[in-house]
Each structure stands twice: as C-alpha cells, then as structure tokens.
C-alpha cells in the first residue's frame, strides 16, 4: 500500500536541513509520495524509517519466480479480488506430481512432458513437475530428482519434509531454481537454510492460515523472502476459504506475512473428475500453484482452458482470427453471415448459426476485437471494411444471394 506524503513526512527527521535538495522535509515527502525523488537523497533518514518506507513500496503480494530460462514461471503480484476490477496477472502454475516409488514413473513423465495444447491461437501447457520423496533415503531421492528433473523442461518442485533428502536433490539441480516444498514447524530452520544456500523459493506449510503466516514470518527472519504459502486444508471448502482469507489479508489489510502466492493440492484420494473440479475451483480462486496427480489429456485440457479464461485480461477483448469460417458444410448457395472479431460476438453468432442447422459461411471482419455496436460506432465495421475482408475467397466460394458477388 502506497504511503501518503503526510505518512512519509512523519518518518523523516523534520529538520528542514535542505540537504536533499528540497527546501523542507514536507516538500521532500510530497515528492517522494509522487515518486519524483528517491529516499536515498536524504542523508539523515533513520534505518527504521527506511525499512518502513521500503516495505510500503513493495507490492502487497510478492512476485515469486520459480525455474529459469524457458521454464521460468512468475507468481504473485496480484492486485485485485475480482478480475473485473483490473485483471489477474500471473496464471496459476499447473503442476503434475511424480512420486518416487511409482513403478510407472518413466511412463508418467513421458505423458507429462506432452501436456501442451493450442487454443484460440495461444499455447497452453502444464508448467511444473512435482517430484515427491517417499523413500526417506537422501541418496535415492537425490538420484530420482536428478534423473527425472533432467528429463523435463518444466520447472520443478521438490517435495519432502526431510532436510537431508532436499539437500541431496538440491545439490543436483544446478541453476534450475526449483521450488522447495516444504518448511514446516519442525524443520523450518534447516529447510529455510537450504532455500537460502541454494537461492530457491520456498513453500511454508502450516495447518491453517494463522500457523502458515507465523511460518512465513519465521522464514523471513531466517532470510528467505521468496515464499509460497500452503495452508494444508482438509477439503475444498476450507481450501477456498483459506485462499480468500489470504488474498483479502494481503490486499485489504496489507498483512505482510500473507503477502505471498499460494500452493494447493487436489485430493489424491478422490476420483479423477472430482480432482479436476477441485483444481478448477483453486484456479478460479487465487491459487498460485495447483498440484495434481492428473495427467490424462481429457482432464488437463479443461483445466488449462479454465486458467486461460479466468486469467484473460478483461480490459483487452480477446480476438478471433478475422477470416471466412465455415459452419457445417456450406456450399456456394449457403448464406454468408458477417460479424466482428470480438471473441464473444463470434462465439455467440457461431453458436446460433450452428443451432439453426443451416450450413453457412461466417465472415469475421477485423474490428480490433470490438463488438458490433462499438465497431460500428467507431467506423470499423462498415461496408468498406466488410468488403475488404477476405474479398477473394468470399467471391470464389460463396455465391449466395446474400453475397455481394452474386
């Protein structure tokens, strides 16, 4: 939350010495609030004031990066509770879990690596591979993590409560910058130490929101700031509540210990469709990362579509490619229907035309993603722009009495 000029003034020495270049401390404070000057121009400001102003200038939900290079994924830095207020910025990272003792781990990894689709011209894909320790044996887990980590381009999550196992895996991760899951009450000093040593982001996992906030504070004291919160809910009802409480604490109350992205798991004991539905709720309701055991395309495609839709920027209308579409199997005598390339207009018209069961051509005109009335008012949807669109193909393929080429 940004401080006002008066808030800042209270933190300054109030000596009006002029060393900063401004005539008075108040003038300097006003310039600071307007971000016209920086605090280091005041040589006399106290350390406490520096810390307070530094934290006030941070975003309410910290931006945390996992992975490097192409696999890098950014989470956090969200600013609203409802997407219509602005937008949701960093799409939920979808993670698929691979367990150490799974005899089919090889096969699963091959499937996980292929979870990549194209929808409405956008690539949508699973972002993370979660490698879960089960043996309790640092050497074994280190080999497991190194083996499967090297065979995927996805960002990685290392899941273990054992500091020794985590260390064994981290040693072999090079510069992959995996997410460490998790620091809990009885290992936080050691695991936070590892996060610091290897410069990796860290999950703090408590039971419920309050305990998780305490662990986040502790981790910060230990020098780890790239944190992700896991509240270990018992079910999706509690999971939803935790996500909402955390987001509201961070945005409405500027409560720093909860100003981090979150991670949540689908219930491995539930049937697959239920897991997929849980994941969709978590994606819609603020989860930074969702970890699931699902990897079949029929479950992952709707989840990635959910993320694509919910994280669409409502300030920028989605556009469909302006071209001549076919609905059903039209022939040269089929009607030609014309509309704009605002995606919702397209979906509505296409649906209605399809429901009519009359095969038709649908000519989508480039109106820069605006709807019919808006485009018409802005003179982007008129005889000229319509005639210009795909002129040749319409002339060649469509000879209906609706066609201008009839």
Partner 1 sequence: MESINEKWTNTINTVTIGATKENGGSRGSTVTIGGETTLPFLHFEGQIPHRPALALDVIDYNPDDWPEVLKSPYADVLGDPTAWAEKCEKEYGADLICLRLQSLHPDWGDTAPEKAAETVAAVLKATTIPLIIWGCDSPEKDNLALPLCAQAAAGENCLIGFATEDNYKTLAVACLADKHKIVAQSPIDINIAKQVNILISEMGFNPSDIIIDPNTGALGYGIEYTYSIMERIRLAGLSGDKMMAMPMICDVGADAWRAKEAKALKENFPEWGSEKVRGPLWEAMTAVLLLQSGGDLINLRHPEALNKVREQIEVLMGGGDWGV
- Interaction site with partner 1 (CB under 8 A): 82-84, 117, 119, 209-210, 213, 233-238, 240-241, 244-245, 248-249, 252-253, 255, 265, 267-270, 272-274, 276-278, 280-281, 284-285, 296-299, 301-303, 305-306, 308-310, 312, 314, 343-344, 347-348, 351, 354-358
Q: Which is nearer to partner 1, 150 or 274 (CB)?
A: 274
First to last CA, the chain: 63
Q: Which is nearer to partner 1, 308 or 340 (CB)?
A: 308
Q: Which is nearer to partner 1, 68 or 356 (CB)?
A: 356
SS (H, E, C) 263-293: EEECCCCCCHHHHHHHHHHHHHCCCCEEEEC
Q: Which is nearer to partner 1, 83 or 90 (CB)?
A: 83
Asked whether the CA dihedral 196, 198, 199, 202 is positive or negative, the reply is negative
Contacting residues for 185 by C-beta, under 8 A, at least 6 apart: 206, 211, 215
Least distance in Å: CB of 214 to partner 1? 10
Least distance in Å: CB of 175 to partner 1? 32
Q: Which is nearer to partner 1, 115 or 219 (CB)?
A: 115
- Which tokens hold the place of 306? 């959910």
Q: Which is nearer to partner 1, 49 or 301 (CB)?
A: 301
| Interior angle at CA 92, CA 306 and CA 150, nearest 5 | 115
Q: Which is nearer to partner 1, 19 or 122 (CB)?
A: 122
Beta strand pairing call for 93-99 and 128-132: parallel
Least distance in Å: CB of 206 to partner 1? 13
Least distance in Å: CB of 269 to partner 1? 4
Whether the upstream peptide bond of residue 65 has omega within 30° of 0, thus cis, is no
Least distance in Å: CB of 116 to partner 1? 9
d(CA 184, CA 232): 11
Least distance in Å: CB of 107 to partner 1? 16
Beta strands in 167-296 (DSSP E): 179-183, 202-205, 227-230, 263-265, 289-292
Least distance in Å: CB of 22 to partner 1? 35
Asked whether the CA dihedral 200, 201, 206, 212 is positive or negative, the reply is positive
Least distance in Å: CB of 260 to partner 1? 15
d(CA 146, CA 287): 28
Give the 3-state secondary structure of residue 112: helix
- Quickly tell me which residue has 């819609």 as its tokens: 284
Q: Which is nearer to partner 1, 117 or 402 (CB)?
A: 117
Least distance in Å: CB of 388 to partner 1? 27
| Interior angle at CA 167, CA 165 and CA 172, nearest 5 | 105
Q: Which is nearer to partner 1, 5 or 302 (CB)?
A: 302
Q: Which is nearer to partner 1, 75 or 251 (CB)?
A: 251
- Which tokens hold the place of 90? 């960093």
Least distance in Å: CB of 60 to partner 1? 13
CA 209 to the chain's CA centroid: 21
Beta strand pairing call for 93-99 and 116-119: unpaired
Least distance in Å: CB of 216 to partner 1? 12
Contacting residues for 391 by C-beta, under 8 A, at least 6 apart: none
Give the 3-state secondary structure of residue 39: helix
d(CA 148, CA 146): 6
Q: Which is nearer to partner 1, 97 or 167 (CB)?
A: 97
CA dihedral 151, 153, 156, 162 (to 10 degrees): 20
| Interior angle at CA 18, CA 16 and CA 23, nearest 5 | 75
């Amino acid at each position: 939350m940004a401080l006002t000029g008066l808030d800042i003034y209270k933190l300054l020495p109030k000596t009006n010495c002029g060393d900063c270049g401004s005539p008075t401390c108040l003038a300097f404070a006003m310039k600071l609030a307007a971000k016209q000057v920086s605090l280091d121009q005041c040589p006399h400001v106290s350390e406490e004031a520096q810390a307070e102003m530094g934290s006030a200038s941070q975003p309410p939900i910290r931006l945390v990066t996992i992975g490097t290079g192409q696999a890098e994924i950014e989470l956090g830095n969200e600013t609203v509770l409802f997407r219509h207020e602005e937008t949701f910025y960093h799409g939920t990272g979808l993670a698929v879990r691979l367990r150490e003792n799974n005899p089919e781990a090889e096969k699963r990894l091959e499937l996980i690596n292929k979870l990549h689709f194209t929808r409405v011209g956008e690539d949508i894909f699973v972002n993370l591979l979660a490698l879960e320790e089960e043996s309790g044996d640092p050497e074994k887990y280190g080999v497991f993590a190194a083996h499967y980590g090297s065979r995927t381009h996805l960002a990685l999550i290392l899941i273990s409560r054992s500091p020794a196992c985590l260390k064994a895996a981290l040693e072999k991760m090079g510069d992959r910058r995996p997410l460490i899951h998790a620091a809990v009450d009885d290992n936080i000093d050691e695991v936070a130490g590892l996060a610091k040593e290897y410069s990796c982001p860290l999950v703090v996992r408590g039971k419920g929101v309050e305990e998780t906030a305490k662990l986040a504070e502790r981790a910060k004291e230990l020098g780890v700031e790239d944190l992700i919160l896991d509240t270990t809910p018992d079910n999706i009802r509690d999971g939803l509540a935790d996500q909402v409480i955390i987001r509201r604490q961070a945005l409405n109350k500027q409560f720093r210990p909860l100003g981090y992205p979150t991670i949540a798991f689908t219930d491995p004991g539930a049937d697959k469709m239920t897991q997929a539905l849980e994941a969709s709720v978590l994606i819609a309701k603020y989860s930074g990362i969702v970890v699931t055991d699902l990897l079949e395309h029929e479950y992952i495609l709707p989840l990635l579509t959910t993320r694509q839709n919910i994280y669409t920027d409502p300030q920028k209308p989605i556009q469909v490619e302006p071209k001549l579409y076919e609905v059903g199997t039209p022939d040269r005598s089929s009607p030609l229907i014309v509309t704009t390339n605002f995606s919702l207009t397209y979906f509505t018209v296409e649906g209605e035309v399809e429901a009519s069961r009359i095969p038709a051509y649908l000519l989508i005109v480039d109106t820069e993603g605006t709807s019919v009335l808006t485009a018409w008012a802005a003179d982007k949807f008129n005889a000229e722009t319509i005639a210009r669109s795909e002129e040749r193909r319409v002339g060649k393929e469509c000879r209906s009495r609706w066609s201008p080429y009839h």
